[in-house]
Structure 1
C-alpha cells in the first residue's frame, strides 16, 4: 500500500468565505452609517428615549450590566488567550492581538476624520450631539475586542462563545445607558471591528487544520474501499483530488473538500447568478451542500441510464473535511480528442445528443456540457462528467440553454452540418428552432465560453444552419443579462441629472409660474408639439414603397412617444416603427432600412440646421454666447483625437467594418429615392418641418415667460441641446435634455429662472403630455395586432 507522506506545502489558507463575509460586512457598515446620517434626528430621538427608559430599570440590574461590561474588556481576552495557548494556537493568538491593535488605531483615526469632517448630521448620528470638543465618536475598545474574538474564532466555540457574546452585549448596552454613545455608533463599532478582524484573517490566512491522508485512508477502508495505492492528483481552489487504485484493480477519484476552502468561487458564481438569467449558478457557502448536490445529480442522471461516474462513497472526515469518491472513467474527453486533431464519429455524436435528450426528458439540465466534460470511454461508450453544476426539475429556459451548449460542443467536435443532421433525428424542428436564441456565449459554461471567445463564427454558423430548418419561424430573442453596463450607466446618469436639476427647482415658484405665464404661447407650444407627429409620419411614409395606413402610422408615432418613456429617445422610436411596419406588411429588411434611412436624413438635416442657425445667431448682437477657453481646448483635443484615430489602420478598419453594413443596407434605398425626386423632396421637407415644429415649441415655451430671446438663438440652443439629449442613455433623455437646454440658454444670457421655467414647459408640451395619448395609441395598435 502506497500513501503520500505530505498533504500540502501550505501552512495557512485564505478562506474565500472570509472574503465574502468581509465584503458583506463593509456593505452593511456603509448602509448603517448612511441611514444613521440621513435620519440623524430620528436616531438621536431613539437614543434619548432609550436612555430615559433604562432609568426605570432596577439599580442592581444596571450594576450587573456595568460590572460585566467593565470586566469583559480585560477578562474575556485573557480567557481566550489562555484557551489558545493550551491548544497550541500561538500563531492565532499573535494574529488576534495584532488585529485588536490595528482595530484600535483604525477607529481612532476614523474618529479624528469624523470630527474634522464638520458634517453636523454625521456627528449627530455618531455622538448624539453636535459638540465635538473632547469627543471620540467611535469606541476603539469595543472594536478591538470584536477583532480579537473574530481572529480567535471564539464565536464558534460553545460556552466560551456564549460568554464572549454576552460580554459584548453588556459592554455595548452599558455605554448606551450611560449616554456615552448612540445605537448607530455601537453598530458601526461592532461591524468595523468584525470587518478589520476578517481583513486580518484573510490577509494572513487561517492555519490549515485539514484531515490528514491517514484519516482519509481510514474512512475509505471503513467504507469497504480497500486500495493498493493512493496519490494526490491535483489540488485546486475548491479541494484536493486523490486517485486511488483499489484491490480489485478499479480506479476511483476521491474529491476531498476542506473546511478552510468554504466559499471558494462564491463571489464569481453569485455575480454570474445575479447578472445571468439562467439561474442555478449560485454556489452555497457550505462544502457539505456541494457534495450533497454532486451526489444527488449523479444518482438522478444515472437513474435515467446515462453513463456518469458512479458515486462509490460519501463520508465526513472529522469536522474539518468531507469527501466524495467517484468512479474513474478510462478514456478521453471530446476536448482531448479534438486537440489531437481527431474527429468524433457520427455515432458518438448521436449517442451524446441522445443522452442529453434522455436527461431533458427527466427534467434534468446538466448545465456544463462543455467538450471537457464529455468522455469517450475505452469501450467506445459516451460518459458525462462535471454533473455538480446540474439542476433537477429544470426550467424550460435551462433546458434550451443546455441543448444549445450540447449543439455547440457537438459542432466543435464534429461539424455543424453533421450535428444538425443528427439533431433533426432526435429533436423536433420546434425544439431546435427554439434553441437558436439560446446560442449565446454568455449563457454557456465557463469552458465553452473560453472556447467561443476565439471561435465566434461557430455560433453564427450554427444559428444559420438551424434557422434553415424553418426560415419563416418567428424567433423570440432571449436576453440573458439581468444587469448590463448600459443600465448601470443609465441609472448613474439619472442620478447625476437629478442632482443637477433638483436644486434648480428652488429658484422658481409654482404659483408664480402659473400666474405669470402667457398661456397663449403655451398653446402655440402645444400645437407645435402636435405637428411633430404629422411631420414624422410623412417622413416615415416617404421611404415606404408599399401602401401603409396613414392613420395607423400616425398612431405609431404617438406610440413611439410612449415607448421613449422607458427607453433612450431614438431607441424606443426605432423599435416601435420597425415593429409597426413589419406588422403592416412591409418586409423585415425593408422596414429596418426605411426606419434607419429616416434617422439618417433627420440627422443630416438636424446638423445642417444647426450650422445654419449657428451662423445666423452668431451675426446677431443679442447673442452673447462665448465658449470658454477650456471648452475650445476640449473641442480641439476631441477633433485631434478623431484625426489621430482615423490615421491608425486598426481604428479606421474597425469604424469602417461597423458602418459598412449600415450604408450597404441604406444605400439601395437612398439610390431608389434619389431617382424619385418627389419622395426625396417629401423626406427633406418632412425632416425640416419636424425640426421647425420642435424649434417653434421651444421658442413659444420661452416666450410664455417673457424671454426676449431671438428665434435664431432659440433654434441654435434647441438643436445643440437636442443633439446632446439624443445621445443620453436615460429614458426620453430625461435630465440630459433639460440640463443641456438650460446650460445653453444661460450661456446665451437668459436668466436661469426663466430658462428653467421655459425648458420645463417645453418638456411638458413635447414629452410628458403626449404620454397619455401615446399609451392609448400603443394599446390600441397592440389590440389590433398592428404593433
Structure 2
C-alpha cells in the first residue's frame, strides 16, 4: 500500500466476514411493519385513500395531457432501465458473489405477487415497440411485480454499492408517488404493496446472506497516526473484524532505535448500532445510578475510552497509553494505543500478592475513578505493579454504585485466583468492613456483568461462597440484595399475577349481572355465616403448616399468610404460586430452603390423604343410591391418563439426564418427606394437629357452600354438599386454568344437580360460594401480600 509517497507493507487478511448488522435486523423489522401497515390500510381504508388521492391529484395535477405524457414517458424509461443499471453497477464493482442474492431477491419478489387463487400468474412483460412507446412502458410502471423486484434488488445491492448511487436510485424508485399525482393519476394501491413486498424480501435476503464489510480505510488510519508523530512503516492484521474491531499491529522503524509497535483498533460502521442499542437496553433495564451516559456515536465511545486511559495513566495505573483517535472515511473510527505492558494477572498470580491488586484498586477509587470491567484479562502485572487496561466501561467521577460494582467484580476475580478468604481479607484491609459489606450486596448474577461471570470458574458457587465469607469476616447476619434494576423480581411477579387475576376473573365478571339479580331473594344471614365459616380454611391450613414446621414460625403470621396464599394460588395454574409463597414464608421465618420445601410437601401430602379419606367416608355416608356417575371420568379418559402417567414414568427411567434429576433432586426430598411421615407416626399430638388442620380446610369450604345453598333456599344435606365440594377442590388442583376457574364452577353446579339441587338454586349458590372463598380473599390477599413483602416475611 502506498500512502503519500511512502510504501506501507500490509500483512494479513483484511477481508472481513459477512456479518448480520444491527441495521440489517432493524431494516427487516421496519419492512415487516411497513408491509403490515400497507396491507391493513389497503383492506380497511382503500376507498377513503383513493378519494384522498384524487383530491390531492386535482390540486397538484397542473400539467397538461401532453406534458403529463412526456413526464410519464421519461420516468417509465428510467424505471425500466433501473434494474439493468443496478446490475451493471454490481459488475463494475466486481461484486460477483452478490449476483446470486440479486437474482434470488428479484425472483422471490416477483413470485410473491404472482400467486393467485388459480396458481401462479406469470408476468406478461414484453419489449415490443411496434405500438405506442408509453403503452409498452406502462406495463412495467403499473405492475406491482416490477416495483417489488426493483425494491428487492435495490435493498440487496445497497450495502455493496456507493452511498451516492444508492440514494439516487431509491429516490428514483420512490418518485412514482409524486409522478402519479402530478400527472393527475391515482397511485395504485398495488404499487405500494409491491414496494412493501420488495423491501421486505430484500431485507430478508440481506439478513440471510449477510452484509459485506466496507473497504477498510487504512490510508486514512496511517495519515491520522502520522499527524500524531507515529510514521507507520508496516501493518499486520492481528484479528479480523467481526463482533469486535479490526485489530492491527502498526510498526515504525526510527533510525538507530528498536522497532516501535502500536496497536490499531478500527471500528466499522456496522458496530455503531449494536453498541448504542446495548447501552440503550442497559438504560431501560437498570437504574440511572447504574448506567453511564449514552454515547450516541462510536467516536464518542472511543474518545471516552482514550480519555479514561489518559486519566488512569496519570496515576501510573494504566498498562497502555493512547496515540491517536480519529474518524476515518466510510464511517470507520480509529483508536491507536501502545501495547499493554506486563503479564495478565491470571498467569502470574502465584508470584503477586493479592493485597497489591486491591491496593491498586484503592488508589483508583481514591480519585473517584471506576474501572467497570475487572476481569483477570484486564489486569496486568509489570515488575510487580498491578496495572489496568480496557477502560471501555470506566467512569471518571464515579458514583457509589459504580465503585461498589468494582469491588464486587474484583472480589469475584481475585476469589477465583487466590480463594475467597484471601480476597475478602485483602478487600477489607483496603476499603474497610462497611464498604466491603455494602459492595457485597452486588454479589448477584444481576449485578455482576456476564463477561465477568464468564471469566471465572463456576460463577454461581463463587458468588455464594463470597457472600458467606463476607458475612463471616464482617459479622453480618445477612446481606440484602442490592436493587440495580428498575423493576425488581417481586414487582414483575406481582404484575404477572395481576394480569393473571384479570384473565381468570373475566368469565366471572360476565355472569355478574345475572348473579346480582338473584341476590335480591338471598338470605343475607346465611351469606354472612358462609363468610365466617370460610375463615376456617385459613386457620386449618395455617395450623397444619405450623405443625409441619415444628412450630418454628409464628402461627398468627402463618394464618394471615394463608389469605395472601389464596391470591397467589388463584392467579397461577394448579395453585403452584401458593406452594411457592408458603415455602418462601417458611424460609424467611428461619427454616432452610430444603426444610421449608419439605414442610410444604408434607402438609400437601397429608392434605391429599385426608381429602381422599374424607371423600370415601362421606361417599359411604351419602348412600349407595346416589348417582355419582357425573364425578367419575369415562373409562377411555382413565385409560388415557394411565397411559400418559406410565409413558412419562418410562421416559424418566430411560433418559439418563431425567433419571439423574430424579435421583439427585426428587429422591432426596421424597425421602425427607417419608422420614417426616415416620416421625409423625411417633408423635400422635403433632400428627393429630396436622390432620385436624387439613380436615378443617376441607370441611370449612364445605360449610361455606352449604351456607350459600341455604342462603338461596336450597335443601341439601351437609354430607352431599361436602362430597360436591371435595370433588370441586380436586378439579381445582387438576384444572390447567388459574384457580380452576370454569372447571370448578361447572363441577360444583353439576354435582349439586346430581344430588337433586335445582339449577335456579345451584348456579347462584356456587357463584356466592366462589365469591366468599375465592374472590373476596383474592382482593384482600393482594394488600396482605404487599404487607408481608414490606415486612420482609416473603
Q: Are 2:389 and 1:389 equivalent residues in the alignment?
A: no
1:198–1:578: structure 2 CA closer, same or farther, 3 Å change rule?
Answer: closer
Counterpart CA distance in 2 for 1:749 and 1:220 is 89
- What is the Cα deviation at residue 16 of structure 1? 1.4
Larger radius of gyration: 2
Q: Are 2:308 and 2:394, in contact at CA under 8 Å, matched by a contact in 1?
A: yes
Q: Secondary structure at the match of 2:178?
A: helix
Report the equivalent of 1:16.
Answer: 21
Deviation at 1:410, TM superposition (A): 0.8
Deviation at 1:654, TM superposition (A): 3.1
CA distance in 2, matches of 1:531, 1:409: 54
2:728 to 694, 718, 722: 718
Q: How much has 1:422 moved relative to structure 2? A: 0.7
The answer (yes or no) to whether the contact 1:17–1:264 under 8 Å persists in 2 is yes
Aligned 8 A contact 1:51 1:178 in 2: yes
Q: How many residues align?
A: 740
What's the CA shift for 1:489?
11
Contact 1:142 1:168 in 2 (8 A): no
Q: CA deviation at 1:384?
A: 1.7
- Report the equivalent of 2:128: none
Q: Which of 678, 685, 689 does residue 692 from structure 2 map onto? A: 685
| Matching residue within 429, 434, 448 for 2:438 | 434
CA distance in 2, matches of 1:44, 1:426: 72
| Deviation for aligned residue 1:443 | 4.3
Give the deviation of 1:423 after TM superposition.
Answer: 0.8
Select 2:155's aligned residue among 150, 157, 177. Answer: 150
1:459 equivalent in alignment to 2:463? yes
Residue pair 1:363, 1:392 contacting (<8 A) in 2 also: yes
Task: Indicate conservation of the 8 Å contact 1:578/1:592, yes or no.
Answer: no
Q: Work out whether residues 702 and 722 of structure 2, in 8 Å CA contact, stay in contact via their aligned partners in 1.
A: no
Q: Indicate the larger mover: 753-762 or 423-432.
A: 753-762
User: Are 1:258 and 2:264 matched, yes or no?
Assistant: no
Asked if 1 retains the 8 angstrom alpha-carbon contact of 2:564 and 2:781, the reply is yes
- 2:770 and 2:483 map into 1 onto residues whose CA distance is 32
- Give the whole-Å Cα distance in 2 for the aligned partners of 1:113 and 1:669: 71
Shift of 1:373: 1.6
Cα deviations across residues 683-716 of structure 1 (Å, max 9, x unaligned)? 2201211122234445666896989995365234
The one-character-per-residue Cα deviations of 1:703-747 (angstroms, maximum 9, x if unpaired) are 96989995365234323223236xx7xxxx74x521443575699
Where do residues 134-283 of structure 1 align in structure 2 (5 Å cutoff)? Answer: 139-153=144-158, 156-157=163-164, 160=168, 163-164=171-172, 167=175, 169-170=177-178, 178=186, 180-181=188-189, 186=192, 190-211=195-216, 213-237=218-242, 238-246=244-252, 247=254, 249-259=259-269, 263=273
Is residue 103 of structure 2 the alignment partner of residue 98 of structure 1? yes
TM-superposed deviation, 1:414: 1.6
**Alpha-carbon distance in structure 2 between the residues aligned to 1:382 and 1:113:** 75
Question: Would the aligned equivalents of 1:597 and 1:670 in 2 still touch at CA under 8 Å?
Answer: no
Structure 2 residue aligned with 1:334: 345
- TM superposition shift of 1:336: 3.6
> In structure 2, what is the equivalent of residue 588 of structure 1?
590
Whole-angstrom CA distance in 2 between matches of 1:758 and 1:607: 28
Alpha-carbon distance in 1 for matches of 2:79, 2:358: 63
Instruction: Give the whole-Å Cα distance in 2 for the aligned partners of 1:350 and 1:15.
Output: 44
Name 1:118's counterpart in structure 2: none
Asked if 1:307 corresponds to 2:307, the answer is: no
Q: Kindly tell me: are residues 417 and 476 of structure 1, through their superposed partners in 2, closer, same or farther at Cα, counting changes over 3 Å?
A: closer
- Whole-angstrom distance in 1 between the partners of 2:709 and 2:75: 70
2:480 corresponding residue in structure 1: 476
Contact 1:352 1:382 in 2 (8 A): yes
- Offset of residue 770 of structure 1: 2.5
2 CA distance for matches of 1:611 and 1:14? Answer: 66
1:68-83 aligned within 5 A? 72=75, 74-76=77-79, 78=81, 82=85
- Cα gap change, 1:635/1:716 in structure 2, threshold over 3 Å: closer, same or farther? farther
Output the TM-score relative to the length of structure 2.
0.75
- The offset of 1:2, in angstroms, is 8.9
Q: Which digits, 9 at most, give the CA deviation of each residue in 1:91-118, with x for residues without a partner?
A: 3884785366245335416776999xxx
- Residue matched to 1:512: 514
Q: Secondary structure at the match of 1:343?
A: helix
1:297, CA displacement in angstroms? 3.5
Secondary structure in 2 aligned to 1:319? helix
- Confirm or deny: 8 A CA contact 1:401 1:435 kept in the other structure: yes
Cα deviation, residue 374, structure 1: 1.4
**Unaligned segments of structure 1, at least 5 residues:** 116-136
Shift of 1:211: 2.6
Cα distance in 1 for partners of 2:778, 2:282 equals 36
Q: 1:776 to 1:490 in 2, by over 3 A?
A: closer
Please list the CA deviations of residues 12-33 of structure 1 after superposition, one character each: whole Å capped at 9, or x if unmatched: 7335134322443256358647
Moved more, 245-254 or 661-670: 661-670
Give the structure-1-normalised TM-score.
0.76
The alignment partner of 2:350 has SS state of coil
The CA distance in 1 between the partners of 2:690 and 2:785, in whole Å, is 25
Other-structure match for 2:329: 318
Give secondary structure in 1 for the equivalent of 2:336.
strand
1: distance between equivalents of 2:688 and 2:236?
82
- After TM superposition, the structure 1 stretch with the greater mean CA deviation from structure 2, 481-490 or 106-115, is 481-490
Judged with a 3 Å threshold, the aligned counterparts in structure 2 of structure 1 residues 272 and 81 are, in CA distance, closer, same or farther, namely farther
Aligned match of 1:621 in 627, 651, 661?
Answer: 627
* 1:648-682 deviation per Cα after TM superposition (whole angstroms, max 9, x unaligned): 77545533433577579889987876665333312
Q: CA deviation at 1:622?
A: 3.3
Q: Tell me by how many angstroms 1:270 deviates.
A: 7.4
1:324 deviates by 0.7
Deviation at 1:425, TM superposition (A): 0.8
For 2:371, the equivalent position in structure 1 comes to: 366
1:664-683 residue pairs with structure 2 within 5 A?
A: 676-683=683-690
- Distance across 2 between alignment mates of 1:590 and 1:206: 54
CA distance change for structure 1 residues 712 and 290 in 2, over 3 Å: closer, same or farther?
same
Using the alignment, how far apart are the partners of 2:16 and 2:552 within structure 1?
79
How far the C-alpha of 1:383 sits from its partner, in A, is 1.8
